[in-house]
Amino acid sequence: MPTVRLRDASEYPEPARKLFELSKAWFNHDFKHPPAMSRVMAWDPEFGGPHGRAMKRAMAPGEWSRGEKEMVAAVVSGVNACAY
């Protein structure tokens, strides 16, 4: 169980809800509800905004493809023993 109540998308202000649409586009998946991490990062846009931009910059195709970077991310998550 999460230690906080994850708010429904409708409980967020309009600019945050736009971020949830961007999240759908990023993952190319039509989520029923925005992913928990997207809702957490939208809680404080002054943190989530730059953090999300840094993530998108790091994950953008460059010398490595987006797919390769997703695998690096999965490996890092595994080493950190993070099930999420």
Partner 1 sequence: MEGDHLWYEAAHVVGITNALNVAADGLAALPAVTALLPPVAEGRAGDPAGAIFARGDVPPVFRLLARDPFYAADVWAATRRAFGDNRLARRFKEALAFAVSLTSRSEWGTGFHLAEMKRLGVGDGGVMEVIGVTQMFSSYTKIADTLQLEPDMGDIAPVDDSPAPGGSPR
20: how many CB neighbours lie within 10 A of its CB?
A: 17
Residue showing tokens 């971020």? 19
Note whether 18 binds partner 1 by CB under 8 A. Answer: no
Closest CA to 18 of 47, 49, 56: 49
Can you read off the two tokens belonging to residue 56? Answer: 């998108």
Please identify, using beta-carbon distances, which residue of 10 and 28 lies nearer to partner 1. 28
Give the chain's length: 84
Please identify, using beta-carbon distances, which residue of 18 and 53 lies nearer to partner 1. 53
Residue of the chain from 1, 10, 14, 25 that contacts partner 1 (CB under 8 A) = 1
3-state secondary structure of 59: helix
Note whether 74 binds partner 1 by CB under 8 A. Answer: yes
Q: Which residues bind partner 1 (CB under 8 A)?
A: 1-4, 6, 27, 29, 33, 35-37, 40, 51, 54-55, 57-59, 62-64, 67-80, 82-84
